[in-house]
Amino acid sequence: MNERLRFVARLLDGEKMSVVCREFGISRKTGYKIYNRYKDFGLRGLEDRARSPYRHPNKLPFQVETAILRVKREHTSWGAPKIREKLIKQYPMIKPPAISTIHATLDRHGLVKRRKHRRHKVQGTVLSDARSPNELWCSDYKGQFRLGNRKYCYPLTITDYRSRYLLACEALESTQETGAFPVFERVFREFGLPTAIRTDNGVPFASPHALFGLSRLAVWWLRLGIAIERIKPGHPQQNGRHERMHLTLKNEATKPPSFNFLQQQGRFDTFIEVYNHERPHQALGGRYPGEVYTPSAREYQLPEVPDYPFHDRTILVTQCGRICIGRRKINLSTVFAGQYIGIREIADEVWLVSFMDYDLGFFDTEVNRVEPVGYNPFAPKLLPMSSE
């Protein structure tokens, strides 16, 4: 309104319409329209006018809205699908509104019970006691330290639980997934695939805000058929063999630190050779890890698209972590972006979401997100770790 008022004021001062319109960047037709509205209605004519149509052909008739609210108040536990079926039977001559329209009506009147998003407290899983090489690998980041060039180094380490064989010790610039993926892919290609990998609950092995604490790295492992083991938060002793290796690594390969990443990686490579093939291990009866370890028979191969023969549909999760069904967008998790999941209707308007052999959760027509199952489906079903 202020802009229109200044426009009219200049015209009332005697300035020409063409000059004022040019400076305000409008046509003379629009200028005369504003000026005539002022002459007819005064200042009220310069106010913003409502642009909504007088008629709304798609608006829900108030009689139908009243019927929806009446059914809801009579049956407070009913959702939109049941209310719609009730309306169809009671008023067969009226075109029934869509389920989404009924849900929106209930929501507008505050009759939709908001489901609290269940936060899954990070917990450890059942831990296994591997008896053979490659049954279990352990991985972690040794505590970061500063190099001579003032940059921080984050060593990513991978060991075989049974043989203590050090599979990798990589000097990385951060704990981000982008650095971890190539390291694990190289190790998988060189040594094959393990049955399970044990880690803590930190980045990039886990994501505290994602479904079941999964990360993209963990989802990739699952796609390769690798089970996930997690130690309890604050219990590093559950990965004690790996932590003991870290102590040896710290004493022999980081004090003093090298000047840059290339030099530090050279020291790590030397440490790997000595640790695996020259340093006797008391727990192995004085043998070297290289004398005990053998590569896995499971070769690394790019996983095929999972098949869901017992589900209704196979759907590719979008890059924003959603399941798209027609016009509906169901929030799952970005850690599953680019992965195929299966959905199956298990009850009226209720679907089960599965990833490979794991059931993730459920969604219905009223909630646009997957409600997780009440347990961690990715916890390995193995015997507890022995006390030795």
Over residues 161-171, the pLDDT tens digits come to: 999 999 999 99
Tell me, yes or no, whether 282 and 209 share the same domain.
Answer: yes
Distance from C-alpha of 180 to C-alpha of 281, rounded to nearest angstrom: 28
Tell me, yes or no, whether 162 and 236 share the same domain.
Answer: yes
What pLDDT is attached to residue 56?
56
Is it the case that residue 382 has pLDDT exceeding 80? Answer: no
Taking the C-alpha atoms of 163, 239, 212 and 320 in order, what is their torsion angle to the nearest 10 degrees? -70
Tell me, yes or no, whether 335 and 360 share the same domain.
Answer: yes
Is 284 domain-assigned? yes
What pLDDT is attached to residue 119?
53
Mean pLDDT is lowest, of 78-82, 118-122, 164-168, 351-355, for: 118-122
- CATH number of the domain bearing residue 80: 1.10.10
Cα 3 to Cα 7, 22, 34, 43, 298: the distances in Å are: 6, 14, 11, 12, 73
Tell me, yes or no, whether 163 and 272 share the same domain.
Answer: yes
Across the range 194-200, mean pLDDT stands at 94
Question: Which is it for strands 137-141 and 196-199: parallel, antiparallel or unpaired?
Answer: parallel
Catalogue the E-assigned strands of the chain: 137-141, 145-146, 152-160, 166-172, 196-199, 227-230, 313-316, 322-325, 328-331, 340-347, 350-355, 358-364, 371-372
DSSP reduced 3-state for 319: coil
Is it the case that residue 385 has pLDDT exceeding 70? Answer: no
Across the range 188-216, mean pLDDT stands at 91
Tell me, yes or no, whether 94 and 181 share the same domain.
Answer: no
Is the pLDDT higher at 113 or at 137?
A: 137
What pLDDT is attached to residue 126?
72
Distance from C-alpha of 83 to C-alpha of 301, rounded to nearest angstrom: 50
Segment 313-335, tens digit of pLDDT: 999 999 999 999 888 888 999 99
- In 3D space, the residue among 349, 355, 358 whose CA is nearest the CA of residue 323 turns out to be 355
Half-sphere exposure of 57 (CA within 13 A, CB side): 0
Across the range 26-43, mean pLDDT stands at 86
Is 125 domain-assigned? no
The answer to whether 209 and 361 have CB atoms below 8 angstroms apart is: no
Greatest CA separation for the chain: 105
Domain termination site, one of 240, 259, 292: 292
Average pLDDT, the chain: 86
Distance from C-alpha of 369 to C-alpha of 320, rounded to nearest angstrom: 13
Is 79 domain-assigned? yes
Distance from C-alpha of 198 to C-alpha of 381, rounded to nearest angstrom: 14
Is it the case that residue 114 has pLDDT exceeding 70? Answer: no
Tell me, yes or no, whether 204 and 70 share the same domain.
Answer: no
Half-sphere exposure of 258 (CA within 13 A, CB side): 13
Is 81 domain-assigned? yes
CA angle 227, 228, 229 (to 5 degrees): 125
Query: What confidence tier does 193 reach under pLDDT thresholds 50, 70, 90?
Result: very high
- CATH number of the domain bearing residue 159: 3.30.420.10
Tell me, yes or no, whether 68 and 162 share the same domain.
Answer: no
Beta-bridge mates of residue 358: 355
Question: Which structural domain, as residue segments, surrounds residue 104?
Answer: 62-108
Question: Is the pTM higher than 0.75?
Answer: no
Tell me, yes or no, whether 27 and 77 share the same domain.
Answer: no
Tell me, yes or no, whether 157 and 78 share the same domain.
Answer: no
What pLDDT is attached to residue 388?
37
Is 159 domain-assigned? yes
Is it the case that residue 272 has pLDDT exceeding 60? Answer: yes
Is 132 domain-assigned? no
What pLDDT is attached to residue 98?
86
Percent of the chain residues past pLDDT 70, beyond the cut = 91
Is 299 domain-assigned? no
Sheet-wide strand order for 358-364? 313-316, 340-347, 350-355, 358-364, 371-372
Distance from C-alpha of 252 to C-alpha of 239, rounded to nearest angstrom: 20
What pLDDT is attached to residue 384?
39
CA 248 remoteness from chain centre: 36
Segment 337-359, tens digit of pLDDT: 999 999 998 887 788 999 988 88
Domain count along the chain: 4
Tell me, yes or no, whether 263 and 157 share the same domain.
Answer: yes
Tell me, yes or no, whether 365 and 266 share the same domain.
Answer: no
Tell me, yes or no, whether 213 and 260 share the same domain.
Answer: yes
What pLDDT is attached to residue 316?
94
What pLDDT is attached to residue 94?
83
What pLDDT is attached to residue 44?
77
Is 122 domain-assigned? no
